[in-house]
Amino acid sequence: EIKLPEQFNFARHILELNQDRAGKTAYIDDNRKLSYGELAQASRRFAAGLKLAGIHREERILLVMQDTVDMPVALLGAMLAGIVPVPVNTLLPAADYSYMLEHSTASAVVVSEALWPVVQEALAALATQPKIIITGQGAASVAGALSFASVLDTAPLAEADFARTRADDFAFWLYSSGSTGRPKGTVHSHANLFWTAELYGKPVLGVRESDLVFSAAKLFFAYGLGNALTFPLSVGATTVLMPERPTPPAVFKRLTEHRPTVFCGVPTLYVAMLASDELPAKEQVALRICASAGEALSREVGERFHHHFDCHILDGLGSTEMLHIFLSNREGDVHYGSTGRPVPGYQLELRDDNGHAVPNGEIGDLYIRGPSAALLYWANREKSRSTFVGDWVKSGDKYSIDADGYYTYAGRSDDMLKVSGQYVSPIEVESALMGHDSVLECAVIGVPDADGLTKTKAFVVLRHPESACGELEDDLKKFVKSRLAPHKYPRDISFVQLLPKTATGKIQRFKLRAAEGH
Ligand code: 3SK
């Protein structure tokens, strides 16, 4: 049985583990390759540079960064110094960054040059300004900002100065969204990263030293962070990073040019890849194993992918709170249409509304217990208490178990939707729509498409029903896109005369779902 020492720093652990691989490539992006030796040096320099810039241990730094080799350097460098990186989604509107900067009281924000305009807008709304570090040439035109290169331009942090963190110390945060309220700052420890590699990355996904790993899911997601940092670095593998959005052409380019052996995606992407005319032939790629998470992968999609590439997709379930996958299919035991069985090291329970275990075959609320569980939601005692219940973490998903122990997804226990592998709160979309002058009231639900993927659909009552037209529909979609992260806009809008409501005026979304046949 593995036991971590009390004193443990995940970044230091990774550097020590790969000391003898100094010449081996750790990361490849569109412009650069970084060897393990260079990764160690750059991380140590970044750690020293942050300290020189006046950032102290346990302070947070927000990372608004695209997936390039700078991102692992920033993550590992911060952790080496005991500074807490908070990587965030790069597609958010300015208001979300303002909230996260304020909520985390970040001492610094590290920004990819291309994302500076939206971060600049976010900063304008803040009373207190963090230090600003911008990649590329971005800092040259921003008063007081440091360039990423200048932070790196210092002597590497001496080993004696590595932060003497404990395994249970705060290492990094990830923001996770709920059906109501603001995103929650999910606080993870150094030990948690270690455990996701030990329990899932190595034994289930089977990442090994000879692998070339490519994750379409970005490093700012818990899923991408494991796929493209924790797992490959824990075995000395090489990782390809892609800064742009994971469209099929962008993914095919990497699959055929770099020929990764391990690929991690989400169901929407697998569906889009299989539907594309440009889908590469099996011989053009070198895939050995793939992972899917974010939402349930349908049986047909899994089978079609396997038939085409002769490579399995391991569908699994993880969460930001558990940091990575705790329920999964595995090689030699792939049941498409099911999320598989618990990852050894995690215990799962399905409970009824009274908290009692449900019998096999019945649907229950999923609870998980395992060593990679987050410590808390920052400054949110109420949500921390209702999610982290004793040893157990409430996932918010509903599942059933068949007689052979395989788990099948049965929906969410809250109103949350999973679209393109990311959470969407119907309430958030509704309030964005309500901001449009023409909308009197509205309701948003999830509707499965022909591939079994959830799409958001809005039912809108107009102030002037006669104004309903295709142009207004497009306008409403654009309106939501301009206010929320792009994956949240409703793919379909139906103009209705009224919404089904209870006697007390609560919208009955279940009636809308039933009318859609679900
Ligand atoms: O969405 C998931 O299934 C997931 C998987 C791994 C890590 C994190 C998440 C949210």
Yes or no: say if 32 and 69 are a contact pair by the CB < 8 Å rule: yes
Residue 217 CA, ligand 1 centroid: distance in Å: 10
Is the C-alpha dihedral spanning 296, 299, 300, 305 positive or negative? Answer: positive
Q: What is the pLDDT of residues 421-461, one digit of tens each?
A: 888 888 889 989 989 999 988 999 999 888 888 999 999 99
Determine contact, residues 157/44, Cβ cutoff 8 Å.
Answer: yes
Say if residue 162's pLDDT is above 90.
Answer: yes
Q: What is the predicted pLDDT for the residue at 414? A: 77
Nearest-angstrom CA–CA distance, 128 and 126: 6
pLDDT score of 63 more than 70:
yes
279's tokens: 């889908």
- At 327-336, the pLDDT tens digits run 999 999 999 9
Is pLDDT of 479 > 70?
A: yes
Residue 235 identity:
V
Minimum mean pLDDT range among 86-95, 151-160, 402-411, 419-428: 419-428
From the CB of residue 104, how many other CB atoms can be counted at a distance below 10 Å? 22
* Dihedral pair phi/psi, residue 264, rounded to 5°: -125, 125
pTM over 0.80? The answer is: yes
Q: Which two tokens stand for residue 184?
A: 């929650």
Q: Which residues, including other chains, have CB under 8 Å from residue 1's CB and lie 6 or more apart?
A: none
Say what percent of the chain tops pLDDT 90. Answer: 86
Q: What is the mean pLDDT of the chain?
A: 95
- For residues 487 and 481, give the distance between their C-alpha atoms in angstroms, rounded to a whole number: 8
Q: CB within 8 A of 45, min separation 6: which ones?
A: 77, 151, 152, 153, 154, 155, 156, 157
How far is it, in rounded angstroms, from Cα 388 to Cα 369?
10
Express the helix, strand and coil content of the chain in percent, nearest 5 each. Answer: 35, 25, 40
Burial class (CB in 10 A: 0-12, 13-18, 19+), 283: exposed
- Rounded to 10°, the helix 94-103/116-124 angle is 60
What is the predicted pLDDT for the residue at 388?
A: 97
Inter-residue contact 429 to 488 (CB < 8 Å)? yes
What is the per-residue pLDDT for 380?
97
The ligand 1 atom nearest the CA atom of 418: 1
Phi–psi pair at 397, nearest 5 degrees: -100, 150
Going from the Cα of 427 to the center of ligand 1, the distance in angstroms, rounded, reads: 22
What is the pLDDT, as a whole number, of residue 504? 66
pLDDT value of position 510: 83
What amino acid occupies position 95? Answer: A
Residue 216 gets which letter from DSSP? S
Is the distance from the beta carbon of residue 318 to the nearest atom of ligand 1 less than 6 Å? yes
Q: Does residue 337 contact residue 404 with C-beta atoms inside 8 Å?
A: no
Alpha-helical (H) ranges within 266-338 are 267-275, 299-309
Beta bridge partners of residue 347, listed in sequence order: 369
CB of 412 closer than 6 angstroms to any ligand 1 atom:
no
Atom of ligand 1 nearest to the CA of 325: 6
For a mutational test of ligand 1's pocket, the pick from 320, 343, 420, 487, i.e. the residue with the most ligand atoms closer than 8 A to its C-beta, is 320
pLDDT digits (tens, 9 = 90+) for 170-182: 999 999 987 677 8
Asked whether the beta carbons of 290 and 312 are under 8 A apart, the reply is yes
Q: Does the C-beta of 320 come closer than 6 Å to ligand 1?
A: yes
* Residue 343 scores a pLDDT above 70: yes
CA–CA gap between residue 513 and residue 445 (Å, rounded): 7
pLDDT at 503 over 80: no
Ligand 1 centre distance from Cα of residue 391 (Å): 20
Ligand 1 near 314 CB (within 6 A): no
Locate 222 and state its tokens.
């818990």
pLDDT of residue 204: 98
DSSP character for 358? P
Listed residue (92, 8, 9, 20) closest to 44, CA to CA: 9
Asked if residue 124 has pLDDT above 90, the reply is: yes
Is 265 near ligand 1, meaning CB less than 6 Å away?
no
Ligand 1 neighbour 293 (Cβ under 6 A): yes
Mean pLDDT of 278-304: 95
Which residue has better confidence, 320 or 508? 320
For residues 486 and 313, the model is more confident at 313
Q: What's the whole-number mean pLDDT along residues 14-20?
A: 98
Residue 62: half-sphere exposure toward Cβ, Cα within 13 Å: 30
Residue 451: how many other CB atoms lie within 10 Å: 17
Is residue 191 within 6 Å of ligand 1 at its C-beta? no
Separation between Cα atoms, residue 68 and residue 74, nearest integer Å: 11
The pLDDT of residue 16 is above 70? yes
Cα 201 to ligand 1 centre (Å): 13
Distance 338 CA to ligand 1 centre (A): 16
- C-beta pairs of 327-335 under 8 Å, 24+ apart in sequence: 327/368, 327/407, 328/200, 328/204, 330/204, 331/206, 331/289, 334/302, 334/306, 335/406
Q: Is 324 in the pocket of ligand 1 (CB under 6 A)?
A: yes
Q: Is the CB of 80 inside a 6 Å radius of any atom of ligand 1?
A: no
Please tell me the predicted confidence (pLDDT) of residue 179: 66
Q: Is residue 325 in contact with ligand 1, taking CB distance under 6 Å?
A: yes
> How far away, in angstroms, is 139 Cα from ligand 1 center?
34
Tell me how far apart the alpha carbons of residues 207 and 289 are, in angstroms, rounded to a whole number.
Answer: 9
The per-residue pLDDT for range 232-244, each reduced to its tens digit, is 999 999 999 999 9
Give the bridge partners for 154, in sequence order: none
294 lines ligand 1 (CB under 6 A): yes
Per-residue pLDDT for 505 more than 70? no
pLDDT of residue 427: 80
Model pLDDT, residue 209? 98
> Is residue 266 scored above 80 in pLDDT?
yes
Give the residue, out of 269, 290, 325, 487, with the most ligand 1 atoms within 8 A of its beta carbon, to mutate for a pocket test: 325
Most distant CA pair in the chain, distance: 72
* Per-residue confidence band for 462, with pLDDT thresholds at 50, 70 and 90: very high
Q: What is the phi/psi pair of residue 429, to 5°?
A: -65, -40
As a whole number of Å, the CA-based R_g of the chain is: 23
Q: What is the 3-state secondary structure of 121-173?
A: HHHHCCCCCCEEEECCCHHHHCCCCEEHHHHHCCCCCCHHHCCCCECCCEEEE
The residue whose CA has the least distance to atom 10 of ligand 1 is 319
Q: How many DSSP H helices and E strands does the chain contain? A: 16, 27
Question: Is any ligand 1 atom within 6 A of the Cβ of residue 170?
Answer: no
Query: Tokens for 361?
Result: 């075959």
Q: Looking at ligand 1, which atom is closest to the CA of residue 221?
A: 8
Closest CA to 291 of 272, 269, 274: 269
Residue 418 has pLDDT above 90, yes or no: no
Average pLDDT over residues 277-306: 95
Residue nearest to atom 1 of ligand 1 (CA): 294
Q: Is the CB of 319 under 6 A from ligand 1?
A: yes
